[in-house]
Amino acid sequence: MEQINREFKAVVQDTTKVYVGAQMSVAELISYEDVPFKVKAVFNKFFGKEEQINRPIGELLGEVNKEDFVFQVIKQLKLKFKVGFYIEKKGKEIYRSKTLTPDEFIDLHASDQKYFDEEVVFNKLALMAFST
């Protein structure tokens, strides 16, 4: 599982989305040059505390309470969450990925299901309209 976690520490962009590796810490994200400033600003503002800055982004976002203001920010930014898991099919373990909404992601983190966080997907249009 550790090898898989290391693979999800990248930031990639296309014309409409920014894909952030969910295993990256807030400190790593802020130090990357290729990360849009608003993404850095959001994470610095809401997860920049000393006890949070070295934890994985996916873990921090999964612990957000649905009644918290941060959850409203997540929904306003139209974040999507990509998670990976293994299913057993014909006696073999097969890797699958699934993209979740914020509500589904928070519910998954609260459950006992085995999975791992892969990516946090930012919508560039929502990011452009958002002000911190």
Asked whether residue 119 is assigned to any structural domain, the reply reads yes
CA-to-CA dists, residue 99 to 19, 86, 119, 132, angstroms:
12, 15, 9, 26
3-state helix, strand, coil in the chain (%, to 5): 40, 30, 35
The pLDDT of residue 7 is above 80: no
Asked whether residue 114 is assigned to any structural domain, the reply reads yes
The pLDDT of residue 126 is above 70: yes
The two three-digit tokens of residue 72, written as one number? 């409203």
Give residue 132's pLDDT. 61
**Model pLDDT for residues 9-60, shown as the tens digit of each residue:** 889 999 999 999 999 999 999 998 889 999 999 998 988 888 889 999 999 9
Asked whether residue 91 is assigned to any structural domain, the reply reads yes
Asked whether residue 99 is assigned to any structural domain, the reply reads yes
Asked whether residue 11 is assigned to any structural domain, the reply reads yes
Q: What is the model's pTM?
A: 0.86
Give residue 121's pLDDT. 96
Tell me how far apart the alpha carbons of residues 43 and 22 are, in angstroms, rounded to a whole number. Answer: 12
CATH number for 71 = 3.30.465.10
Q: How many domains does the chain have?
A: 1
Asked whether residue 132 is assigned to any structural domain, the reply reads no
Which span out of 6-10, 71-75, 89-93 was modeled with the highest average pLDDT? 71-75
Dihedral through CA 74, CA 46, CA 36, CA 77, nearest 10?
A: 10
Confidence of residue 2 (pLDDT cuts 50, 70, 90): very low
Asked whether residue 98 is assigned to any structural domain, the reply reads yes
Asked whether residue 25 is assigned to any structural domain, the reply reads yes
pLDDT (mean) for 112-119: 90
**Model pLDDT for residues 64-87, shown as the tens digit of each residue:** 999 999 999 999 999 999 999 888
What's the domain range around 50?
2-127
